[in-house]
Amino acid sequence: MAFALSNMQVTSDAFGHHRDIPTQYTGEGEDISPALAWQGAPEGTQGFAVVCHDPDAPLVQDGTYGFVHWVLYNLPGTLSELQENTQEGVAGKNDFGNVGYGGPMPPEGHGKHHYYFWVLALDRQTSLPEGLSLPELLKELEPNLLGMNRLIGTFKRDG
């Protein structure tokens, strides 16, 4: 699946684009999701989904690469932000094997990893069941995708 970037802007009060993600949002800290905000969603947006993916992780499974940290969906089209440690939406399964957010935790000494916080704008509100994996979610959302963009944060564990 090839998705093109839209003009939507994704930001966070917690960290800037290509900046370090504070420890509280990682597996070394409180492991809670950061606040996210977006603007400029495409016309006709009725729903959103959010994904956090680490393409630097040395993992290949089911024909995909990297590590999925967060899958969140069934978000209404009226939403333009998520609070820290959000309870909005329905959570999917991350690559830790859990439902919900699992913060950055790259292997020690593996260098700086990049975490892509994607916001996907959809032409309909979804009501999908809890626990979908990223491939399952994308299969459901692809026909309804209007646009997407991301905020990239970084994290490195010393060791």
Residue 24 gets which letter from DSSP? G
Taking the CA of residue 151 as centre, how many other CA atoms within 13 Å lie in the half-sphere pointing to its CB? 22
Place of tokens 């032409």: 123
The percent of residues above 70 in pLDDT, for the chain, comes to: 94
Residue 63 gets which letter from DSSP? T
Q: Grade residue 65 by pLDDT with cuts at 50, 70 and 90.
A: confident
Q: Residue 85 carries which side chain, given as an amino acid letter?
A: N
Radius of gyration (Cα) for the chain, nearest Å?
Answer: 15
pLDDT at 109: 86
Mean pLDDT computed over every residue of the chain: 93
pLDDT at 158: 76
Q: Grade residue 58 by pLDDT with cuts at 50, 70 and 90.
A: confident
For range 7-35, the mean pLDDT: 97
If we measure between CA atoms, which residue out of 4, 153, 156 comes closest to residue 70? 153
If we measure between CA atoms, which residue out of 29, 37, 151, 16 comes closest to residue 83? 37
Q: Grade residue 85 by pLDDT with cuts at 50, 70 and 90.
A: very high
Q: Grade residue 60 by pLDDT with cuts at 50, 70 and 90.
A: low
CA distance 42 to 146: 6
Q: Grade residue 38 by pLDDT with cuts at 50, 70 and 90.
A: very high
Burial of 102 (0-12, 13-18, 19+ CB in 10 A): buried
For range 31-58, the mean pLDDT: 96
